Structure 1
Amino acid sequence: MPVTASFGVPAGALASLGATRPSPGDARLLAAGLHSRRLVLLKSLLARAQRHAVPTPVRQRLERHWQLLERAEASAPAAARAALAYPSVGNWLLHVLSVPAGDDAAPGETRFEDALGGLGALAAAAALSTGTGFRVTLPAPGGRLTLPGIGSYTAHDSCVRLVAGPRSLRLSPAHRRTGTVLRPPYAHAAVADWHGLRPLPGTPAAMLDDLDPYRAGTRPVDRFAPPITGSSTGGGRARDWNARWRAALSLLEAADPARRSEVFALVRSVVPLARTPGGTSSGTLRSAPGCVLTELPENAEDMAAVLVHEVQHSKLAVLSDVAPLHHANGAALHGVPWRPDARPLDAVLQGTYAHLALADLWHRLTHRAGATPAARARARARCEDYREQVASPLAMLRESGELTRHGREFADGMARHHARLGRAPGAAASGRPSSVTIRNLR
């Protein structure tokens, strides 16, 4: 697998993306940008391993895992790249690049040499996604092996043997002869000691992920948390998430098919958060584009709003890495209508972009076939709320002098779409915030 990749944003693409309206080439452009970023991080991982002269056994293991990743990409490049793009992979990469090496690690702290073992799990996931056969023994921190984007195996051992063919996967604790045999699709398998991720309805790519230790950040969490299936905790049951997801996509299909297609193409995982007072909180991590962290929304409208809002953050996460939009250092803070605290320019850009998309969403819901007069009036008010919230921050961004050439093009696209939305005839601001409260997790 090559560890460098050239990437450029085509002329006009940034203005188009700034408008928040989905276009057919957006998903391909963003996938290419994300792949370029992941390759850069992988190259950094290899360079750090060489720089710190990791022990010979660790280096040999790293080489074997890298070779498996190369074989997977040679077998089916698109599937291998999709495995590499799974959101938790980005969190893991930043984790392994940040932990101390060797004697620099404090007692009990994860060392770089040990964290490198996660590359084997990534390589195995890529190989399984492409049908590439392999035999490998992988570390299982805390007795559990997680294959990103696929599932988790409880080994009760420090290592797991994996033997994969075109139509089967055998997992067994390293010190036992017996194990678990799975058949594809592995994420659907339900056998002892194995929990597959649950695909959300209507798409093979989006997963309800409550298993991956890196699902919610760059530090592993809830390694032994029970899967959400069968749970009645604040996160809700899997069937509740499935129902909200299906209802939200149906609503988007009726009001804005292009927006539904965008969600379908860009969301790879939904990570349940425990419910907190004050509405539905959600967030996106810059290191994990395509992941939506959220409490269970109350209804289809709220779920649709969460998905649309967080997809914009994912788009900006990719764009910010491949075409920097500003050169602000974060020292200056600016007031925004949607939060009581002043925000640095990058956060203003993020919030303005996401709220513009919500104004557009409610504009489309205003004209949805079959909507009642009351629903249309509510949608008009929500549209105007968000449109008004965006106006002053958008003007500040364009006048700040801190946008790059790419950023100015992007902001111009936002401004043109904001003007197109206009003020709907007869609409009045509702005077209340949306029931969806956004929490940026970056």
Structure 2
Amino acid sequence: MDRSPVPLRQFVLKVHSRCDLACDHCYVYEHADTSWRGRPRAVPDEVLVRTADRIAEHAAAHGTAAVHVVLHGGEPLLAGPARLRRAAEELHRALDGVCALDLRIHTNGVLLDERFLDLFAEFGVKVGISLDGDRTANDRHRRFADGRSSHPHVLRAVGLLRRPRYRHLFAGLLCTVDVRNDPAAVHDALAELDPPRVDYLLPHATWEQPPPRPGGGTPYADWLLAVLDRWDGQGRPFPVRVFDSVERTLRGGSSLTESLGLEPSDLVVVETDGTLEQADSLKTAFDGAPATGLDVFSHTFDEASRHPGMLARTQGLDGLAAECRACPVVRSCGGGLYAHRYRAGSGFANPSVYCGDLMQLITGIRDRLAAAPVPSPPQPGPPVLPEAHLDELAAGFGGAEAVRSLARAQLGIVRELLAAVRQRSADLSADRSAPAAAAWELLTALDSDAPDALDAVLAHPYTRAWAVRCLEGAAGADAGGLAEVAAAAALRAGRDEPVRVPVRGGAVRLPTLGRVLVGGDGGEAVVSGGPDGFTVAAGGAVLRIGRDDPPGDRWHPVRRLAAPGWTVALEDTDPYRDGHQWPVAGRLPDGEAEAWRAGLAEAWELIGRELPRYAPGLSAGLSTVTPLEAPAGQDVSAAVRQAFGAVGIARPGRADVLALLLVHEFQHVKLGAVLDLADLHDPEDTRLHYAPWREDPRPLEGLLQGTYAHIAVADFWRVRRHTARGAAAAEAEVHFARWRRHTAEAVEVLAGSGSLTPLGMRFAEGMRATVAPWLEEPVAPEAARGARLAAQRHREAWQARAAAGS
């Protein structure tokens, strides 16, 4: 099945076509393609200007939220500071007011010095460094032409990036695997440099030029799995893209790299002469393999996206060889990197030359995940949250593993709630053949045979919301929800058992999957899985829904956004999503859903770029965004204590506001999960307190929730005052001055309340340690004055209302 061209979002801009090293594994100079020989050494002005304008044209035409541009080579630093400045200036000029720019440079680090880093700090250019491990490992390939080692030069470059002044520019390390190197020694050498991320890359190879396999077998998988075990044993001190990508795809999420997963490629290369090429990795296949025959002077990026070679890398499962399509790990593997599939005679219609290694790697990671100890469900008494995670969260942030620990505990809570629902239904019904009883038997079987599929449905935020309502006897919530959970889990697991489910409001609810409109109200439908999809039988009719069927009048699948590092559901189908304080939106029209996708993608870009301490936790724990309705002109959002992983938002008109609402509400989600595990305050304290973010006085827990959420609010404005422009920057500084003060004061009210438990005091200390230094940051006098006036007006109005009500 052919697909429409994918808008391009990743642009590799070659600024220099030569290199100061002679790495023997380099795909540009040492593999099949020789096109570099006829190109200008340094990119000329006219190519920079035209490229920047073409990128802006393409982004504007497709409503792109952000583009990623990598300055590359050869060795890009050979272009010199003046040429790199010109490149950054042209890109910022062209994209100003069009979309966000994520600008990076990939270098061997040999020439990196403070001149370059000061330039990169001025334009926000993130720096990735190639380093293959310790000196022994690095010197196997990365040497100067005369044989000298490059290792000390690279260590010096990384040392500069680790300085506080430049640390925010450090994007990570890229390491090409050589299985002759000791995996533990390589990993330890990289870990010692405290990188923000590490990419382990398979050396480029094809079926015509296969990779070395000393001893046979799957040495690349064995090498990477040894690194995985080392990384795990160290507590995963930094992200590793290949491992994170496999784990994400095994859980049904998106990959973080084009070498894994089924996401379409959206990358194009601009050479120093302005010609457009496909991914550089294709240079390893045959001479001229990346060529398109296009250039930035005569062709648009839309034309590039329609090139047959570009389209071939956007076909997902349909673009793979039959052997790959039938493979059980294809959704994680994705056929491997496109270039690695090449064989003379059959082109790229083959499995990867690393097929066996990828299978071994993915199944090895899957088996390790399955064997990992599962925490017991929360029990009364001491909190099950590890102290280190509690401290991370108390500071207002919380990394991916800390948030995952909250999610695992939530899964235990939901399991207990389901058991309570089952017990309640058994107590109320003597009919053991009722749908709830049959569903419970299927759930028990799935828990044994397909636990990942079941956990995916139990982790759906509104599964807990339904269970709590059911136990409370709320209208519309009953034990039939067990059948809905069972049906959805069975479909996810590929099971074909028919499941009797209730029909509610004319629809069949399949949590995490969507809803099917069958008409009528009340009664039952039968959901049955199959190899290509599923069927729903109701009212004498059978509706067949294919695995890849698009949304229709009767099939409303849950829409999902897969952004780099984050997969989120746009939930507008589940009837139990209505617990937010604002009305929920109905099923979104396609145009509004697309606006949501674009807005969330742009907001996520902003969070990753400007609020990187919040992004890992949000990626790990925020699975669902529920669209809300809002009064005209108001930005509204909400979180529900009984729906971990979900926030409700009325889509604002600006991506920065959406980013603020996401981080703000996710603070409530995190803290609610902490409060499920740990007593932070005395629930008998019924005093009410002034909260500068509310019109009404708040109980202690409400003040705690608001304070914690406003750490993110204050931090958002703290950063935006530097990244926004003009009047927006001045407005952000006023907001920062106001909310840092209010948040700090609220922390002191909590700490001095006398009602915090020892853990609560520890939590308050963590918040104080984050907020207190912000009070020392200078702000403009007019911003400080504006903040004081806003605070004064709010308190006076609050006092007037309190006096009128007394």
TM-score normalised to structure 1 length = 0.84
Quote the residue 1:67 is aligned against.
441
Quote the residue 1:213 is aligned against.
575
Quote the residue 1:182 is aligned against.
546
- Contact 2:599–2:655 (Cα < 8 Å) also in 1: yes
Which among 517, 526, 537 is matched to residue 161 of structure 1? 526
Which among 736, 746, 770 is matched to residue 383 of structure 1? 736
Q: Distance in 2 between matches of 1:310 and 1:293?
A: 8
- Contact 1:92–1:218 (Cα < 8 Å) also in 2: no
SS at 1:257's partner residue? Answer: coil
CA shift for structure 1 position 65: 0.9
Quote the residue 1:197 is aligned against.
558
- Contact 2:404–2:620 (Cα < 8 Å) also in 1: no
CA shift for structure 1 position 307: 0.2
- Contact 1:255–1:367 (Cα < 8 Å) also in 2: no
- Contact 1:207–1:269 (Cα < 8 Å) also in 2: yes
Structure 1, unmatched stretches of 5+, are 101-108, 232-236, 434-442
Residue-by-residue CA offset, 1:164-215 (whole Å, 9 max, x unaligned): 1354211121x4253222215xxx7324411111113427742112221111
Q: Distance in 2 between matches of 1:218 and 1:160?
A: 29
CA shift for structure 1 position 378: 3.7
- Contact 1:72–1:132 (Cα < 8 Å) also in 2: no
Quote the residue 2:431 is aligned against.
56
- Contact 1:263–1:311 (Cα < 8 Å) also in 2: yes
Residue-by-residue CA offset, 1:91-123 (whole Å, 9 max, x unaligned): 1111111117xxxxxxxx65x7xx111111111
One-letter code aligned to 1:62: A
Structure 2 matches for 1:363-374, cutoff 5 A? 363-368=718-723, 371-372=724-725
Quote the residue 1:414 is aligned against.
767
Quote the residue 2:596 is aligned against.
241
Quote the residue 2:699 is aligned against.
344
SS at 1:414's partner residue? Answer: helix
Question: How many pairs does the alignment contain?
Answer: 405
Deviates more, 1:309-318 or 1:371-380: 371-380
One-letter code aligned to 1:265: A
Instruction: Check if 1:228 corresponds to 2:600.
Output: no
Q: Distance in 2 between matches of 1:91 and 1:298?
A: 29
Quote the residue 1:234 is aligned against.
none
Q: Distance in 2 between matches of 1:3 and 1:250?
A: 33
* Larger radius of gyration between Structure 1 and Structure 2: 2
Quote the residue 1:35 is aligned against.
411
Runs of 4+ in 1 over 6 A off after TM superposition: none
Instruction: Check if 1:399 corresponds to 2:752.
Output: yes
SS at 2:779's partner residue? Answer: coil
Quote the residue 1:22 is aligned against.
398
SS at 1:326's partner residue? Answer: coil
Q: Distance in 2 between matches of 1:415 and 1:292?
A: 26
One-letter code aligned to 1:250: E
Quote the residue 2:537 is aligned against.
172
Q: Distance in 2 between matches of 1:412 and 1:132?
A: 50
Quote the residue 1:104 is aligned against.
none
Given the superposition, is the C-alpha separation of residues 293 and 24 from structure 1 closer, same or farther in structure 2, using an over 3 Å criterion? Answer: closer
CA shift for structure 1 position 397: 0.6
SS at 1:426's partner residue? Answer: coil
Q: Distance in 1 between matches of 2:552 and 2:636?
A: 34
Instruction: Give the RMSD, CA atoms, in angstroms.
Output: 2.7
- Contact 2:508–2:516 (Cα < 8 Å) also in 1: yes
Given the superposition, is the C-alpha separation of residues 351 and 274 from structure 1 closer, same or farther in structure 2, using an over 3 Å criterion? Answer: same
Q: Distance in 2 between matches of 1:387 and 1:22?
A: 20
SS at 1:274's partner residue? Answer: coil
One-letter code aligned to 2:429: V
- Contact 1:88–1:216 (Cα < 8 Å) also in 2: no
- Contact 2:599–2:658 (Cα < 8 Å) also in 1: yes
SS at 1:141's partner residue? Answer: coil
Q: Distance in 1 between matches of 2:695 and 2:677?
A: 31
Residue-by-residue CA offset, 1:205-232 (whole Å, 9 max, x unaligned): 421122211112299x98xx8521158x
CA shift for structure 1 position 260: 2.6
Q: Distance in 1 between matches of 2:463 and 2:649?
A: 19
Given the superposition, is the C-alpha separation of residues 93 and 198 from structure 1 closer, same or farther in structure 2, using an over 3 Å criterion? Answer: same
Q: Distance in 2 between matches of 1:282 and 1:228?
A: 17
Q: Distance in 1 between matches of 2:580 and 2:733?
A: 40
Structure 2 matches for 1:301-380, cutoff 5 A? 301-329=656-684, 331-368=686-723, 371-372=724-725, 375-380=728-733
Given the superposition, is the C-alpha separation of residues 227 and 317 from structure 1 closer, same or farther in structure 2, using an over 3 Å criterion? Answer: same
Instruction: Check if 1:46 corresponds to 2:426.
Output: no
SS at 1:388's partner residue? Answer: helix
Given the superposition, is the C-alpha separation of residues 131 and 381 from structure 1 closer, same or farther in structure 2, using an over 3 Å criterion? Answer: farther
- Contact 1:86–1:148 (Cα < 8 Å) also in 2: yes
RCO higher in 1 or 2 (8 Å CA, sep ≥ 6)? 1
Structure 2, unmatched stretches of 5+, are 1-373, 792-806
Given the superposition, is the C-alpha separation of residues 79 and 409 from structure 1 closer, same or farther in structure 2, using an over 3 Å criterion? Answer: farther
Q: Distance in 2 between matches of 1:153 and 1:394?
A: 48
- Contact 2:545–2:555 (Cα < 8 Å) also in 1: no
